[in-house]
């Protein structure tokens, strides 16, 4: 080896060392989970150029987003008295529920509220019918936020209805995720815009729109508000894939229709997302505030909105799920299309089973991601060994996201039971205290089990399948 080659190697080693130190400091300052931090450090050292590009696009980021404080303060002042009345009506042994409610309020800043009516909608077809009815009855505004809004027959039908309402003077605002709804083009949106509706994209995924790309941080929320009085949320997107009237093998899903004061808090979630997407925070309350957040009386159904996303490091939805599972005394029935638990979440489920709680998990036999399906199955033996009953839904793709705890708690919304929903996506769900939603979701869980197959401990699997499941598990933080 001549001197020139030695100098080149010496220079290259210095550059590589400086690179590892600088990038290592950058990653360490993110203060992510130790396993994730070590994974990123090893990736950066092993593949300097490619690893840096991956981290640039998909690495952790912190988003700062202002809340519309005058809206939250106004509503918080109104709910204090009703919360006290609810506490007086709840059973004396409901301290566990109060603790969960306090946790959610502390992490997500949403107090306990009430609903005057709720309706569990099973399947996309029933959901779209209920949404269409509510939109037709709207007189002031219709607000929509969706991860997936497809320009297919289902999406076109809803768009045309929105166009019709906008032409009558109803304020229509549509917020869609730029990546999840990437097929929405100018031609599809033109009738809406010409009718006077407003459309915004959440986190434009095109390179160059921000200093760092935001392709990995999506709004997975599904929210629809009519006149501040009727609200919808749950797992159903706007697409033929969830409409059994169009596709016989459409995803099996559930959604929730709400009326009452809790709709005000869903409205605040939308308004803050809308302001964030437009990068325009209102300096004063809007003139039509009473129409956006109408005053309604107390309902008989205690509920609480929960949100989480990379703009809030407290992971409210993740903590709420763990707190609910840890508080369980009789049952924990979890339905999720994507099961990729953290170590803490896995421990919470297995601990509950080991202490005698009836823990049941329902997942799809085959999801729309082979990698996620394989990763989920890698956890089954450990769950079953600890007493968890695991079932795979075989009829269609299962897309429901629900949690039933004892007889007094139930969660329904947009988050899956995985890393992405807990730590990367912007998600929303509602937790209901009391027997009503709990009973409905429990009945639906039992109905779904009729089309599911129980998974047995150490079931027969080929070596290649076991190896693939184990390898997929390594990708859990990225799924």
- Reported as a single tens digit per residue, the pLDDT across 269-325 is 999 999 988 877 665 556 677 888 998 888 889 999 999 998 888 899 999 999 999
CATH domain 316-478 topology:
Endonuclease; Chain A (3.30.870)
CB-neighbour burial class of residue 304 (10 A; exposed 0-12, middle 13-18, buried 19+)? buried
Tell me if residue 401 is catalytic: yes
Residue in 75, 177, 227, 273 annotated catalytic:
227
Radius of gyration of the chain from its Cα atoms, rounded to whole angstroms: 24
- Local structure of 80: helix, strand or coil: helix
Q: What is the pLDDT of residue 464?
A: 75
CA distance 281 to 154: 32
**In this structure, what token pair is assigned to residue 24?**
């290592």
pLDDT tens digits along 110-155: 999 999 999 999 999 999 999 999 999 999 999 999 999 999 999 9
Q: What is the pTM assigned to this prediction?
A: 0.85
Residue in 252, 399, 418, 469 annotated catalytic:
399
Residue in 143, 165, 222, 252 annotated catalytic:
222
Domain boundaries, the chain: 3-58, 69-90+114-301, 316-478
Closest CA to 470 of 383, 399, 381, 394: 381
Tell me if residue 64 is catalytic: no
Residue in 75, 255, 401, 440 annotated catalytic:
401
Give the residues of the chain that fall short of pLDDT 70. Answer: 1-9, 12-13, 15-20, 22-93, 205-215, 281-287, 468-472, 475-479
Tell me if residue 399 is catalytic: yes
Q: Which CATH superfamily is 69-90+114-301 part of? A: Endonuclease Chain A (3.30.870.10)
Residue in 273, 298, 406, 448 annotated catalytic:
406
Residue in 75, 165, 220, 252 annotated catalytic:
220
Closest CA to 115 of 263, 5, 222: 263
Tell me if residue 406 is catalytic: yes
**How far is the CA of 18 from the CAs of 7, 11, 29, 42, 377, in angstroms?**
17, 11, 17, 15, 41
Q: What is the pLDDT of residue 343?
A: 92
pLDDT tens digits along 86-106: 555 555 557 788 889 899 999
**How far is the CA of 13 from the CAs of 45, 50, 51, in angstroms?**
12, 18, 17
Q: How do beta strands 171-177 and 198-202 pair?
A: parallel
Identical fold between 69-90+114-301 and 316-478? yes
Q: What is the pLDDT of residue 377?
A: 85
């Amino acid at each position: 080896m001549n001197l020139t080659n030695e100098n080149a190697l010496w220079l290259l080693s210095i550059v590589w060392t400086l690179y590892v130190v600088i990038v290592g400091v950058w990653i360490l300052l993110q203060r992510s989970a130790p396993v994730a931090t070590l994974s990123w450090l090893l990736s950066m050292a092993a593949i300097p150029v490619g690893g840096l590009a991956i981290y640039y696009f998909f690495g952790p980021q912190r988003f700062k987003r202002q809340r519309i404080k005058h809206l939250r303060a106004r509503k918080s002042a109104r709910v204090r008295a009703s919360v006290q009345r609810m506490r007086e009506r709840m059973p004396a042994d409901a301290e566990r529920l109060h603790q969960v409610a306090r946790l959610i309020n502390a992490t997500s800043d949403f107090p306990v509220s009430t609903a005057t009516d709720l309706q569990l909608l099973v399947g996309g077809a029933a959901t779209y019918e209920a949404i269409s009815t509510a939109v037709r009855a709207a007189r002031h505004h219709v607000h929509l936020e969706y991860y997936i809004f497809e320009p297919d027959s289902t999406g076109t039908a809803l768009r045309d209805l929105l166009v019709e309402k906008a032409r009558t003077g109803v304020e229509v605002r549509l917020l869609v995720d730029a990546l999840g709804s990437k097929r929405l083009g100018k031609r599809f949106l033109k009738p809406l815009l010409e009718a006077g509706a407003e459309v915004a994209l959440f986190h434009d995924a095109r390179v160059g729109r921000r200093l760092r790309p935001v392709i990995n941080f999506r709004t997975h929320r599904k929210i629809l508000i009519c006149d501040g009085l009727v609200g919808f949320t749950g797992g159903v997107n706007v697409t033929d894939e969830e409409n059994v009237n169009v596709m016989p093998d459409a995803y099996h899903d559930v959604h929730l229709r709400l009326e009452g004061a809790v709709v005000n808090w869903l409205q605040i979630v939308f308004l803050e997302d809308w302001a964030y997407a437009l990068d325009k925070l209102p300096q004063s309350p809007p003139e039509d505030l009473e129409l956006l957040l109408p005053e309604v009386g107390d309902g008989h159904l205690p509920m609480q909105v929960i949100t989480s996303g990379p703009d809030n490091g407290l992971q409210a939805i993740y903590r709420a799920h763990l707190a609910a599972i840890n508080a369980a005394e009789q049952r924990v029935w979890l339905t999720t299309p994507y099961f990729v638990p953290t170590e803490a979440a896995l421990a919470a489920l297995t601990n509950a089973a080991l202490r005698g709680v009836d823990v049941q998990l329902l997942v799809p036999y085959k999801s729309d991601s082979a990698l996620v399906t394989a990763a989920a199955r890698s956890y089954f033996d450990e769950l079953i060994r600890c007493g968890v009953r695991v079932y795979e839904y075989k009829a269609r793709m299962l897309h429901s996201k629900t949690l039933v705890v004892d007889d007094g708690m139930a969660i329904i919304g947009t988050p899956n039971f995985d890393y992405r929903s807990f730590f990367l996506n912007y998600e929303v769900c509602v937790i209901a205290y009391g027997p009503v939603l709990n009973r409905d979701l429990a009945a639906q869980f039992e109905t779904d089990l009729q089309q599911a197959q129980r998974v047995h401990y150490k079931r027969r699997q080929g070596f290649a399948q076991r190896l693939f499941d184990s390898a997929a598990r390594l990708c859990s933080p990225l799924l």
